[in-house]
Amino acid sequence: MDATATTCEARLTAAAAAAAEVEVEAEAKAEAEAEATAPASASASASASDRAESRRGAQPTRRAFCLGGLGVLCTGPSPAASAGQRAPAFSLPGVEGPVSLEALRGKVVLLDFWASWCGPCKLSFPWMSAMQARHGAAGLRVVAVNVDRQRAAADAFLRSLQPRMTAPLTIAFDSAGETPERYGAKAMPTSVLIGGDGMVVLQHAGFRDDDRPLLEAAIVAALAALERPAK
């Protein structure tokens, strides 16, 4: 392992530990508030302890791709799904049944990898919903792939954002994190725009307000390409 990779690994390891501790502390605070109104049973307390230990133990798996909420990005090899390459196939369980890239061939797909603990994801979801509402009729499909270990955490995140959503997204789940690894995602969220021909148009890590014009312009251009006859 070269010096750059070693430095990157060290940063990711430290950030993963911080991410896990933040999540454990947040859950402990929520449970303390719940106990103030309804004392928890012994079994519930034990369950909370088990969940905390599970999150601490998940650090090595997370550090490969789930650190965007902390703004951790490392330079290294090109993404596995960079512009001009064929998007890796996937088939995942979803809220409304299986979700596969092959079934979406001919549509422009905005593939988004997200996690319930990811701060920027709370900003990107309403924006993606607005994009689905605005461009869905032209052929856009937003597919949001969750990487949480626990489905309940993802469901709670989605419920919390429901009042801000203008159009439903296609939600899929990959608790093993295999799909973002195949796409070379290094942060949460990471968005991959895929053209109707199955080729990657762009990959974008993170989400900020000033990213919106660039991302929407790329979506509009990819949709315009659907309307042009093949040469």
Contacts of 181 (CB under 8 A, 6+ apart): 64, 65, 80
First-last CA distance in the chain: 45
**Taking a C-beta distance cutoff of 8 angstroms, is the pair 120, 68 a contact?**
yes
| Residue 230: per-residue pLDDT | 58
Which architecture does CATH list for 91-227?
3-Layer(aba) Sandwich (3.40)
Global confidence as pTM: 0.69
Pick the closest to residue 205 from 213, 215, 196 (CA basis): 215
pLDDT, one tens digit for every residue, the chain (231 residues)? 444 444 444 444 444 444 444 444 444 444 554 444 444 333 333 334 333 433 333 322 343 343 433 334 343 444 567 899 999 999 999 999 999 999 999 999 999 999 999 999 999 999 999 999 999 999 999 999 999 999 999 999 999 999 999 999 999 999 999 999 999 999 999 999 999 999 999 999 999 999 999 999 999 999 999 987 655
Domain ranges in the chain are 3-63, 91-227
Q: Residue 190: beta bridge partners?
A: 113, 205
